[in-house]
Structure 1
């Protein structure tokens, strides 16, 4: 339990990054495809790096799933940053598949963490939100970039809140933390 409680701040950074990303998407809804690709690429890359770091710092079974989630985020971020001129439909599919795969990884990690922490359900909720977001994007691919920006912003804020709440729950598990 000490391993996960020492990395609580990684969850908080992921949550704050997601909330900031969501707010930026709402503040500038007419954002161009290039800027959206770059913002998503940086977000996915940072989220992946923090998930990867957390995965390598854990000694439990959830380690593998956090590493998988981190690798998926890093790969999605690299693809978005290397090919910024892709069409909105291609971006939509990158975001959708990233969300589904990363969400499944986080759901599995949350299930494995049930033995280590009480409030693992927040990681599971974050994973479910990712999967639902990805499915919605796949079901309505012609929704347009503006709709994608608003939907992505809404998802990012919800996901960020779930990760921030989880971070503070996990922090309570730290040795010497007050109950």
Structure 2
């Protein structure tokens, strides 16, 4: 598709930066897109479960897969009908994930043979993760918009770094090419 890896890298960086700018400028649009992506995922999941139900030769799996397909269909429709509630639930889910991983990081920090720097980094990341999760639980309404904005800032930084890497790789390729012709 692209003539070189550096061109692919450059386009990936440009796309990431553009998505980041949109996410920062319009966090509500980003949250809405996330809800729509969740709905699409639920519909695809439901369709695959329905397909699995009809490909089974036993009754037990058929009923189970059809039930899962129905649950996924309901979740997808619910996400589209009530996007605000879906965004809040996704934010709370991310908060629960952050708290869980933070607790695990703290446990890892104080288990095993780690040097002080490693222990401090595990503990710091654990505390930051727990703090982030608690903030999302306290204000999930603001949390969804904050997540979209943070995602946007991350995408901008990632995009710019990727663009710089692509330019540096292209320069290096050019220099190698010049050395090879000498």
Indicate the TM-score class for this superposition, using the shorter chain for normalisation: 0.3 to 0.5
Structure whose residues are more often helix by fraction? 2
Larger radius of gyration, structure 1 or 2? 2
TM-score of the pair, normalised by structure 2: 0.40
TM-score of the pair, normalised by structure 1: 0.41
